Amino acid sequence: MSTDSAQATERRRTLTTVLSTADAIPVTEGADPGLAYGYAGELKAMLIPAEMLQAKVSELARAVADDHAGDQPPVLVCVLKGAVMFLTDFVRALPIPAELEFMAVSSYGSATSSSGVVRILKDLDRDITGRRVIIVEDIIDSGLTLSWLHKNLASRGAASIDVVALLRKPAAVTTDIDVKYVGFDIPPEFVVGYGLDYAERYRDLPFVGLLAEHMYR
């Protein structure tokens, strides 16, 4: 491995915070973070508090800006709906100009695991030929959505495609896509909040929590 790529690998490693189930703070009757948002009794634990999320978003934005400074503004492709909270905070923390595009794809509806079936619900509004593209994802779970999206955008002639993902689950390590910027490696738990839903609920939470089993079993 060259010195440059060894440094890049080390930087990526330190960018990603690894969280285990033991890092989650269990919800108690007296301290339920869902209560203030109308979700009392629906979460079992707090995994990533709002302040920790915001600090990580800033860190990711600085890393992306360092690698893209001086280039033509990158096109940020936000994958709706889950990534919308992350995108809006990320782009405001990004110290370089960027253009915004939105795509909506569906991989698993309201079930709790990926189906591998990806379809476009909303496409890009513009041509990305010759542009540097950064896919902004909230979570990489099985990696199927990202793998499909990467190929799809590459086929449109993007000059380069990087990926910034706030969260990554263990199953995603098998994906064939090189994800340059990852905020948190998280345990294989059912996570909600900060854009992530279960049956369209919980996206509005400013933190990432673990859904109580009785809500989906």
CB of residue 19 to ligand PRP, shortest distance in Å: 18
Active-site positions? 141
Piece of 34-42, 101-109, 123-131, 182-190 that binds ligand PRP (CB under 6 A):
101-109
Site string for ligand PRP, 120-139 (x = CB under 6 A): -----------------xxx
> By the 8 A CB rule, do 131 and 148 touch?
no
Beta bridge partners of 136: 78, 164
Site string for ligand PRP, 142-181 (x = CB under 6 A): xxxxx-----------------------------------
Q: Which is nearer to ligand PRP, 44 or 150 (CB)?
A: 150
Distance CA 139, CA 133 (A): 18
108 binds ligand PRP (CB under 6 A): yes
Q: Which of 17, 58, 114, 152 binds ligand PRP (CB under 6 A)?
A: 114
- Name the site residues for ligand PRP (rule: CB under 6 A): 79-83, 106-108, 114, 137-146, 197
